Amino acid sequence: MRFSFIIFFTVLSLTCFGQKASVQTLFSVNNDPTLTDEFIYIFNKNNQNKNQTVTSESVLDYLELYLNFKLKIAEAKRLGFDTTAKFKKEFNSYKADLKKPYQASEDELDWLVKETYERLSYEVHASHILVLCSPETKPEDTVKAFNKIVEIKNRAERGEDFAELAKQLSEDPSAKQNGGDLGYFTAMQMVYPFETGAYETIPGKLSQIVRTRFGYHIIKVIDKRPARGEVEVSHILIPASETAKGRIFNAYDQLQSGREWSEVCSEFSEDPNTKNSGGRLRPFGLRGIASLPEFEERAFSLKSPGEISDPFSSSMGWHIIRLEKIIPLPAYDEMKEGLRRKIMRDERLQITRNKELTSKLLTFGVIEVDSVKSQVMMLADSTLTMGKWKYTGSPELLDQSLIIVDGRKSSVKEFVLYISKSQSSSGLSADGYMIQLYHQYLESILDKLEDDMLMKKYPEFRFVMKEYYEGILLFEIMEEKIWNAASEDSIGQRKYFESHRESYKAGDRVEGRIFSSKEKVEMEELRRRIELGDSLTFKDCVPYGQRL
């Protein structure tokens, strides 16, 4: 009687616009309830493109299908499909994508894209001094490194020559040769904190002390100029030899006398990849040919398409360059999606996520018990980086609270269990890896809290999450128990085919060939030959294929 009553109001909510039934349990399978709002969501979603009137009969028919679906899900859970590593990996991947539209971090990502584009509009020339200090460095050594960079900065501010300080004191190995000079760079060519330090410093001034994963830096900004975009050039290359200089000047003289570039390039250039195509290179921008800075500078010094450089040498040999095209920085709308994809893999997004983690700690009122955390961190040893760590602390410590969220205590024992399941070989130090595992554990707790919050705040998110969860489960059980089993039963397949042979007759078929080309004139020529009765062979098509 109760079931019929709930169905009546479910049908009423589906057939009467503007009316909503109160959320109730429609049915349960193995104590897992299906609520009326979930069924209404699924029913409407799967019937939104059907021009049919919703009736009691159509709702009941769909309910029967949905109940059968839920029985399959219950069986998949009973068999443990939802506990496999494969299932968890796939679902968590979908979940991460599903959460994005509901997370405030999308605003942060948009802001990062705009910031990156604005920085790409400029190129910065800077020098730096580095004091090495990795994230895994012990606290006392971190203090020493920081004090050292402070002293160097004070000396630079008192007027000592920055390049000399870099040669004497910087722990960047290249500083002894270049005095810390990094040349020009733009956004996404340096680690994000360093980039930020450089772009936020006025030319001629020193930055604040900047911390990166390499250590502590002081940056001296020398110049800042508008971005030059990209250039497309052609070149003639003669590798270094006793006769190279004479040959390159011979080529240059012939160009000056009016001989065609393509002819001179084909005769003189020894770049096998480009000599027969006019020496054309792909477009490149700042640091696009980092191993040949003189080549890059000569290319950007040319101002007009068709302009030819004087011969010059590099570590590769002798060159002549002809400018083909100047390509300015594209508009923001053209670059936006590409920048988003790059930033999703960039360090700047991880730094933003660290800020989000701090924000979540405040949002959910998370308390980290630092005294207990310190004791756990001290248990890290070399076995952890090999994925073989075992707890060696006291039994009493296991019961201590490590993290407290909304009154619920997460014990050291739970964290130890997480480590035993998650540890693997790592290139980090033992201390660094233990910190990383702790942050991952903390994030897993916060993610669960965030999921619960989003599902309460956004019913559609709850429905879609469940849809994906159950959809993956259904696929897994159907694949293993039905499809794979059927494919392995060749005798059963043969018997079924023999008894249903009429259903598997092939229809009318034709045999033909399809020709395609980027050039309409070539297709018209082929069509003319075919209409005249020409029987085309493979050899006839080769000349066209070479031009596709």
Element (H, E) at 115: helix 105-120
Number of alpha helices (DSSP H) and beta strands (DSSP E) in the chain? 24, 12
3-state SS string for 133-202: CCCCCCHHHHHHHHHHHHHHHHHHHCCCCHHHHHHHHCCCCCHHHHCCEEEEECCCCCCHHHHHHHHCCC
CATH of 230-327, one of 3.10.50.40, 3.40.50.1780, 3.40.50.10110, 3.30.450.40: 3.10.50.40
Please give the Cα distance from 425 to 4 (Å, whole number).
Answer: 57
Whether the model pTM is above 0.75: no
Instruction: Give the span between the Cα atoms of 433 and 308, in whole angstroms.
Output: 55
pLDDT (0 to 100) of residue 222: 98
Residue ranges in the chain modelled with pLDDT below 70: 1-22, 48-52, 100-106, 350, 352-357, 485-490, 492-493, 506-507, 518-519, 533-548
Query: Which residues are CB-contacts of 165 (< 8 A; sequence separation ≥ 6)?
Result: 129, 152, 155, 156
Question: Tell me, what amino acid is at 499?
Answer: S
What is the rounded distance in angstroms from the CA atom of residue 532 to the CA atom of residue 522?
16
Contacts of 61 (CB under 8 A, 6+ apart): none
Determine the 3-state secondary structure of 123 from DSSP: strand
| Tally of CB atoms within 10 A around 26 | 21
Contact 299, 323 (CB under 8 A): yes
Q: What is the largest CA-CA distance in the chain?
A: 102
**CA 86-89-95 angle, 5° bins:** 135
With the C-alpha atoms ordered 396, 397, 398, 400, is the resulting torsion angle positive or negative? positive
User: Which among 299, 384, 362, 285 has a CA at the least distance from the CA of 327?
Assistant: 285
Which secondary-structure segment (H or E) carries 321?
strand 317-327
Residue 360 identity? K
pLDDT of residue 9: 46
Could you tell me which residues are beta bridge partners of residue 28?
33
53/17 Cα distance (integer angstroms): 12
Any idea what DSSP says for residue 340?
H
pLDDT value of residue 277: 92
Say how far apart CA 355 and CA 432 lie, in whole Å: 19
pLDDT digits (tens, 9 = 90+) for 135-176: 878 888 999 999 999 999 999 999 999 999 999 999 999 999
Read off the tokens for 52: 């049919």
The per-residue pLDDT for range 391-450, each reduced to its tens digit, is: 999 999 999 999 998 778 899 999 999 999 889 888 878 888 898 899 889 888 888 887
Rounded to whole angstroms, the Cα distance separating 332 from 114 reads 8
The C-alpha atoms of residue 488 and residue 492 are separated, in whole angstroms, by 9
Q: What is the DSSP letter of 428?
A: S
Q: Are 9 and 37 in contact (CB under 8 A)?
A: no
First-to-final CA distance of the chain:
71
Give pLDDT, residue 194.
96
Q: Are 56 and 452 in contact (CB under 8 A)?
A: no
Beta pairing partners, 368 = 403
CATH 3.10.50.40 intervals, the chain: 123-226, 230-327
Query: What pLDDT shows up at residue 99?
Result: 74
Where residue 317 falls (left for φ over 0; alpha for ψ -120 to 50; beta otherwise) is left
> Helix, strand or coil for residue 79?
coil
CA 102 – CA 459 distance, rounded (Å)? 11
CATH number of this structure's domain 123-226, picked from the four choices 3.10.50.40, 3.40.50.410, 2.60.120.10, 3.90.45.10: 3.10.50.40
Q: Which two tokens stand for residue 529?
A: 């030959």
pLDDT for position 454: 80
Q: Are 409 and 401 in contact (CB under 8 A)?
A: yes
Cα–Cα distance, 418 to 413 (Å, whole number) = 9
